[in-house]
């Protein structure tokens, strides 16, 4: 048995961790390598980590984007305007 697409497994993994309120410290132990002195995100778990970041408010992956709702709203408005003006493509 398998998934039709890997994304299903990645999303469901993130959803499970969120629904069961797994603490962030435990999640970090699962998704970061413990072999390096400078822990790095395990490459096979990048998409799961991205799903976690989109679902949980306490997870943010290397980003320069502000967590301020007004700033995020402005960024989205600007992107949508640029797309409608055909300055951006998919």
- Model pLDDT for residues 39-82, shown as the tens digit of each residue: 888 999 989 988 888 888 787 665 555 667 777 788 788 888 88
- How many domains in the chain? 1
Per-residue pLDDT, 74: 83
The CA–CA distances, whole Å, from 44 to 2, 4, 19, 30, 31 equal 17, 17, 22, 12, 9
Alpha helices in the chain (DSSP H): 6-19, 24-31, 46-55, 69-84
Structural domain harbouring 31: 6-84
Is 48 among the domain residues? Answer: yes
Is 1 among the domain residues? Answer: no
Is 54 among the domain residues? Answer: yes
> Judging by beta carbons within 10 Å of its beta carbon (0-12, 13-18, 19+), is residue 10 exposed, middle or buried?
buried
Q: What is the pTM of this model?
A: 0.62
Per-residue pLDDT, 67: 62
Per-residue pLDDT, 38: 81
Is 69 among the domain residues? Answer: yes
Stretch 21-31: mean pLDDT = 91
């Amino acid at each position: 048995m398998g998934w039709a697409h890997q994304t299903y497994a990645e999303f469901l993994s993130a959803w499970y961790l969120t629904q069961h309120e797994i603490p962030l410290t435990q999640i970090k132990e699962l998704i970061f390598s413990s072999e390096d002195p400078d822990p790095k995100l395990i490459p096979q778990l990048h998409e799961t980590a991205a799903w976690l970041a989109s679902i949980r408010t306490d997870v943010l992956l290397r980003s320069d984007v502000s967590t301020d709702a007004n700033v995020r709203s402005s960024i989205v408005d600007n992107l949508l305007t640029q797309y409608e003006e055909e300055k951006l493509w998919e």
